[in-house]
Copies of this chain bind each other. A is one copy, B any other.
Amino acid sequence: MAEAIGEGARSVEGVEVVLVPIGEVNPQDLLNAQAILVGSPVYNGNIAPAVQEFINSWPFEGRPMKDKLGAAFVTGGGISIGEEGVMFDILRAMLIHGMLVIGGEEVEAAFGASAITGEGPFKAEKIDPIFLAKGLGLGKRVAQKVLILNQSKK
């Protein structure tokens, strides 16, 4: 899913995209970023503790994350057993940091890009194309919005 989002973001010219596992994020990259997309698997209907710890490690003093764009993506085993919950866990944390929150391109990705990987027709080892399309659209929309916000600073 992260790769689909990265591909979508990179399809927008003039935007630099960095894909990093949460354990390897450089704090300076975080401060430099104009948009941050955070993803998590769903465990017991909730955000993965490691992802929450990552967000909790963001600089807070002086609120340097304020006004950055934020979006969420999520992968869950079953339908409607925590995907929305986790997307809003992430968005809630971003709002606490003062970020602007944005969803995906289609209505079906309104709260972010979500994927189901273990129920009904969604049991294949690969993420279903309908979910990857949500990731692609989310990456692209966020990147386009970054460009527009950049113009306003010139």
Contacts and interface: CB of A to CB of B under 8 A. Distances in A.
B47 A55 contact: no
A116 B79 CA distance: 9
A89 interface: yes
Copies of this chain, count = 4
Interface residues of A, number: 54
Interface in A56-78: 56, 63, 67, 74, 78
A117 interface: no
A78 B134 CA distance: 12
Contacts of A83: 79-80, 84
Interface stretch (A3-11, A12-20, A26-34, A105-113): A105-113
B44 A56 contact: yes
A120 B119 contact: no
Given A78-B108, A102-B100, A108-B81, A89 B46 contact: yes
Q: Which 3 A-B pairs have the closest CB atoms?
A: A152-B152, A84-B84, A49-B49
